[in-house]
Amino acid sequence: MKSIRSALLGIFAVAFANAQEAPNGEALYKQFCAQCHGPNLQGGNAQSMVDGVWQFGAGKGYVTRNIKHGITNLGMPAYESSMTDKQINAVAEYILNTEKSAGAVKPAPPAEVQTVDYHVKVDQWVQDLDDPWGIAFPDAQTVLITEKAGKLRFVKNGMLDSNAIAGTPEVLAEGQGGLMDVAVDPGYAKNGWVYLAFSHALPAEAGSPRPAMTKIVRGKIADDKWTDEQTLFEAPRESYLPSRVHYGCRIVFDDQGHLYFAIGERGFQDHAQDLTRPNGKVHRIKTDGSIPKDNPFRKKKGAIPSIYSYGNRNAQGLAVHPENGYLWETEHGPMGGDEINVIESGKNYGWPVVTYGRNYTGQLVSELTEKDGIDAPALYWNPSIAVCGVDFYNGGQFPKWKNALLVTALKDEELRVVIVKDKRVLHEELILKNIGRARDVGVGPDGAIYLVTNNPGAVLKLSFIKERSYKALQ
């Protein structure tokens, strides 16, 4: 009898262990998700899971986090108390495998969108790019685009040159690193300077990954070749780090001869508060790489003299207001807490002491969302949209958007128009959605809006059709 009982207990123990190790994702989906998303994932009260459209981030990481922590502002509950991590993982795998087997294809961008003010034409302007990152406009006929793997590309008269510009710097194209931003000097027509931001690596040590940090250079382009390179910013080599995340980085100019760029905290969150380290900061130099005499920490012992602000987690958007000169910045929060900030000399923007976000585990980074001595964001998003590149609209095609901030989003695949005044955000309008991971945006000399996307690697062109008419509503 004892042996039979032991055998039965062993069978039950194995069955329980197997159930714990391999939960049934389909059964769990039908128990917890089908009432909103449909029994066949076709949608219902909530979005379809098999139409190729992911409004809140594609990929297993985003899907898993959305199930675990919910999207509470839209009514989706968090399931972290109802399911184990293994069960949530099984549901995510079931959803993604079902979408794959259904042959879901993301729809092409619309040919036209309607905003509050305009009918806007959307053209698939340039395609077949490899993970494009930044865009710049040397003149009315030429566009420069960076590809993260390390190529700098020309678009001439609307046609992508099949050959990359030769001789650009070697980059560490691993993780989130690579060739990032490109910018042209405000006096480009006379001096020809082009600026690049990229992840720069030191030689490897035995058994260790190559330490890396963001670097800024400038050079000229002659006969489709990169020439006359000058290093403008290279961090102290002891500050280089082995991580492959949070490099920043955007490059913008003001009308006083200053160049601003940002370096993310590289995954070492406490470094953002340490002025002896370059990461987690917005920096200011002159266009020749020299340090402005009025930089806030230039005379502080041990501080990196180019630091302009600190406590910035991972800024991938910078833009200078065309009229008042305020520097606007967008930075990624963790899970929640994406921010728009107005960056001012010497100010602390809080990370990780103050944040509206949580760690990806759901645990608190900090209990504080505000604190004396720390500047609050002009706007934040919770949940995160994965806010990225920005630009102020200063063209002639959309006069009602004059000096509005164009804001991109990676996870939510969006372009927004954000109306600002002084240092405040007054209103935001979502004008384009589900068009691929929106990485950067720029206003061309023709007044059109050029939107850089990943997955697919492309540039969309938004141009004026006509103004919206409201006579029928009067």
Cβ(215)–Cβ(234) under 8 Å? yes
- The packing angle between helices 85-101 and 25-32, to 10°, is 100
Spans of all domains in the chain? 2-101, 129-384
Report the chain's mean pLDDT, rounded to a whole number.
93
Q: Which of 210, 331, 346 is nearest to 269 (CA)?
A: 331
Compute the average pLDDT of residues 95-104: 91
pLDDT of residue 71: 87
Percent of the chain whose predicted confidence (pLDDT) is above 90:
86
Q: Residues of the chain with pLDDT > 70: what percent?
A: 95
pLDDT tens-digit series, residues 1-44: 445 555 445 545 444 544 456 899 999 999 999 899 999 999 88
Please give the Cα distance from 408 to 415 (Å, whole number).
5
- What are the CA-CA distances from residue 34 to residues 30, 48, 69, 245 (Å)? 5, 11, 18, 36
Q: Where are the alpha helices (DSSP H) in 162-203?
A: 188-191
> Which residue out of 37, 246, 283, 321 is catalytically annotated?
246
The domains spanning 2-101 and 129-384 adopt the same CATH topology: no
Taking the C-alpha atoms of residue 172 and residue 314, their distance in angstroms, rounded to an integer, is 18
Per-residue pLDDT tens over the stretch 352-371 = 999 999 998 889 999 999 99
Looking at domain 2-101, its CATH class is mainly alpha
Residues 6+ apart with CB under 8 A from 4: none
336: left (phi over 0), alpha (psi -120 to 50) or beta: left
Residue 89's φ and ψ, nearest 5 degrees, are -60, -40
Domain 129-384 has CATH 2.120.10.30: yes
How many other CB atoms are found less than 10 A from the CB of residue 190?
8
pLDDT digits (tens, 9 = 90+) for 247-259: 999 999 999 999 9
User: The whole model's pTM is what?
Assistant: 0.91
Stretch 111-133: mean pLDDT: 97
Asked if 271 is an active-site residue, the reply is no
Q: How much is the pLDDT for 5?
A: 52
Q: What are phi and psi of 387, to 5 degrees?
A: -60, 140
